[in-house]
Copies of this chain bind each other. A is one copy, B any other.
Amino acid sequence: MSFESPPIPDLDSAAIAGARERQDRLTKPAGSLGRLEEMSIALAGMTGRLDPSLAHRVVFTLAADHGVALEGVSAYPREVTAQMVLNFLHGGAAINVLARLFNARVVVADLGVDADLSAHPQLHQLKVRRGTSSITRGPAMSEEEAMLAIEHGRRLVADEAGRGLDVVLTGDMGIGNTTASAALICALIDIEPREVVGRGTGVDDEGLERKRAAVRQALEVNRAAAGAGPLETLAALGGFEIAGLAGVIIEAAARRRPVLIDGFISGAAALVASRLAPGTTRFMIASHRSQELGHVAVLRHLGLRPLLDLDLRLGEGTGAVLALPILDAAAAILNQMATFDSAGVAERSIAEKDTPVT
């Protein structure tokens, strides 16, 4: 089985050149706004516009359970996944608070929670199955299931595009998903579990050892699939929400939407997306550097430099939402600042005039 990617567009080089040129005419020393300038140029390249709208920003918070969670790899019981989905729907979770603050919509989807969740107008019921199988004993899911989860993610983005969608943000919920993500990352970038497996929601030393052992065992048990193509690897070691997020990222990139990648779980999904559809990395923005061990390796591998470093390790999309003001600032600087000409500010430097007064 193989995944057929939609075409991923190139960046718009004319828009990039236009944004660069405009940055250099603004009333500030060239380069003095650092990453804001970079981001304004990147946004122009992604969207094809110097003044992209960033008004419609949607966090896709996808939830699912993990078979491996029953093996003592998390500090929280498995029921918390469903409980947190309800918390999202009631607006009481961190992602809700931050999304309200920074004007983002939260799309909550059940890709595979191990509970019968009641219908709710804000809940997308896209359950592939009630939790994956444990990756320590075999593949997490079938390739068909992986494909279905990816398609669900893509469909969510397509639907939101009909409501207005300028920036896509990724988010996750799933007790046990740092374990699955760590296994996936180890398989995809050929790195050792001890460099990737972290404390997740906060396991103690014994829990961490169980988690490392689970990842080692998962890689051993799924060796054949993990060494095959990205879809096989995803099916062997992933999670339904991770597969769904890969779909979200792929569809967003296909539609030229900038994608703010959240933390460790979203990083694993981004890695999967980059293998299934390599051009997607052009549309990725790393929102933050997570506290979770191994996230740095993922970002390095994707060639992404995070915007924020706030010791976050929550997920849900919280880090992605926190980076929105930086995107807003980047776009505003490019479009609202005065130029040297319009403001009557001297542009030439002493060095250029070659007349130091000393």
Q: Does A202 contact B (CB under 8 A)?
A: yes
**Contacts A/B (CB < 8 Å), 12 sampled:** A27-B94, A31-B202, A32-B313, A71-B356, A75-B350, A83-B343, A83-B344, A83-B345, A97-B332, A201-B349, A210-B356, A309-B309
- The answer to whether the Cβ of A329 comes within 8 Å of any Cβ in the partner chain is yes
Shortest CB–CB separation between residue A224 and chain B, in angstroms?
Answer: 25
Chain A contact residues (Cβ within 8 angstroms of B): what range?
Answer: 35 or more
CA distance A35 to B326 in the complex (A): 17
A177-234: which residues lie under 8 A (CB-CB) from chain B?
A: 201-204, 206-207, 210
Interface residues of A in 21-53 (CB under 8 A from B): 26-36
**A76 CB to nearest B CB, Å:** 6
One digit per residue, 1 when the CB lies within 8 angstroms of any chain B CB and 0 when it does not, for chain A 308-326 equals 1111111000100010011
A201 proximity list for chain B (CB < 8 A)? 29, 32, 349
Q: Assess the A84–B351 pair: CB atoms within 8 A.
A: no
Given A326-B322, A332-B98: A93 and B358 within 8 A (CB)? no
**Inter-chain contact A350/B83, CB cutoff 8 Å:** no
Once the chains bind, are A329 and B93 in contact (CB under 8 Å)?
no
Q: Which residue of chain B lies nearest to A316 when distances are taken between CB atoms in the complex?
A: B28
With A72-B356, A87-B343 known to touch, is A310 a contact of B94 (CB < 8 Å)? no
A325-358 at interface with B (beta carbon < 8 Å): 325-326, 328-329, 332-333, 336-338, 342-346, 348-351, 353, 356-358
Does A144 lie at the interface of the complex (its beta carbon under 8 Å from any beta carbon of B)?
Answer: no
Complex: A94 Cα to B37 Cα, angstroms: 12
Which listed residue (B92, B210, B318, B329) contacts A98, Cβ 8 A?
Answer: B329
- Indicate whether A79 sits within 8 Å of B346 (C-beta atoms), given known contacts A33-B94, A71-B358: yes
Nearest 9 CB-CB pairings of A with B: A92-B338, A34-B311, A72-B356, A325-B325, A75-B349, A29-B201, A32-B314, A35-B310, A83-B345
Do A32 and B203 contact each other (CB < 8 Å), given the known contacts A79-B346, A87-B345, A350-B75?
A: no
CB-contact partner of A29 in B34, B75, B329, under 8 A: B75
Inter-chain contact B33/A350, CB cutoff 8 Å: no
